[in-house]
Amino acid sequence: MDTKITYLYRDASNYKQHGEVVVDGPIAFADLEPYLDDGTYFVPTDVGLDHPGEKFGSRFPSEDDHPYCELDADDFHPTTEPAIMSAQDLIELFRQAHAAGWPGGGRDLSAGTKGRVVAKICRRCKATSTGGVYCPNGCGKV
């Protein structure tokens, strides 16, 4: 049985879009969790997946946008839909992206913002910084 994984994008204004991928074979949240930031966050473009924020069309990216999406245990479901990659390949892509550090080589979401500041999310406390590279709560770099 193949697995459909649905992931959530939530911008700084709490507007949401979902993305999904179908993989060949079984996969569970526990298979990807070790490679997620804070056990939840990942950058879909770093693992070859579409970024759901792109569904916002010309409004994406904006000053409210960042590269991170969310995964949890309820996002994995058996399906008969056609798969685009194997479960093992996806796990390996997550492992590599985690080892390289999220976000990595995915698409630069600041492209096309015409000089506007793109919101950044602190990896520790998830606070939004629109005015630089440091967390507004003093955690360090975002």
* pTM of the predicted protein model: 0.71
Is residue 142 a part of any domain in this protein?
no
CB atoms inside a 10 Å sphere around CB 90 = 24
Residue with tokens 């950058």: 43
* Domains: count for the chain: 1
Where in the sequence is the domain holding 14, given as residue range(s)? Answer: 2-112
CB 107 within 8 Å of CB 51: yes
Is residue 124 a part of any domain in this protein?
no
Query: Cis ω on the peptide bond leading into residue 61 (within 30° of 0)?
Result: yes
Share the mean pLDDT of the chain: 80
pLDDT tens-place string over residues 41-88: 999 989 989 889 888 877 777 777 788 999 999 999 999 999 999 999
Residue with tokens 């999904």: 20
State how beta strands 2-10 and 16-24 pair.
Answer: antiparallel
Is residue 78 a part of any domain in this protein?
yes
Is residue 118 a part of any domain in this protein?
no
Is residue 47 a part of any domain in this protein?
yes
Q: What angle do CA 14, 16, 17 make, to 5 degrees?
A: 160
